[in-house]
């Protein structure tokens, strides 16, 4: 892959998680108060699942092309930055614990997934003429 295309792909690999976070989680800031007084939220399980499923495509794309480090680091950086921005208005400062958990979990999950994808997909090969030139 040419150097310029690789730089563009890396930028996109960082921007896709940020955009996916905004699309799936960024708009929901409402916490649910239950009759017993407990509070949950702001995210529902389907939102987090949607985020994870959305991120499978760029991670697969990069890992299947043997860009495992790019897949892992860009996805982790994008999710960490999005979580930091989204949660930074928390006055208690505990949002940093959550951001650290997002960073750690995304790093471990994308690493394991990328290594698995890279090991089961065949490296992309351009079609080359056979020994007879055909």
Would 112 be classed as within a structural domain?
yes
Would 50 be classed as within a structural domain?
yes
Would 132 be classed as within a structural domain?
no
Would 107 be classed as within a structural domain?
yes
Host domain of residue 90: 3-29+41-120
**pLDDT class for 126, splitting at 50, 70, 90?**
very low
Would 129 be classed as within a structural domain?
no
Task: State the average pLDDT over residues 56-68.
Answer: 94
Would 45 be classed as within a structural domain?
yes
Question: Does 124 have pLDDT greater than 90?
Answer: no
Distance CA 46, CA 78 (A): 20
Number of domain units in the chain: 1
Would 61 be classed as within a structural domain?
yes
* Residue 37 DSSP SS3: coil
């Amino acid at each position: 892959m040419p150097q310029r295309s690789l730089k563009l792909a890396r930028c996109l690999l960082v921007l896709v998680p940020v955009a996916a976070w905004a699309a799936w989680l960024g708009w929901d800031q409402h916490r649910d108060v239950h009759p017993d007084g407990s509070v949950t939220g702001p995210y529902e399980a389907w939102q987090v699942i949607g985020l994870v499923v959305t991120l499978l495509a760029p991670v697969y794309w990069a890992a299947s092309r043997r860009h495992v480090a790019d897949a892992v680091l860009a996805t982790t950086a994008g999710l960490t930055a999005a979580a930091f921005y989204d949660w930074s208005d928390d006055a208690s400062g505990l949002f940093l614990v959550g951001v650290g958990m997002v960073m750690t979990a995304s790093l471990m999950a994308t690493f394991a997934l990328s290594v698995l994808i890279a090991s089961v997909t065949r490296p992309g090969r351009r079609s080359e003429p056979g020994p007879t030139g055909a």
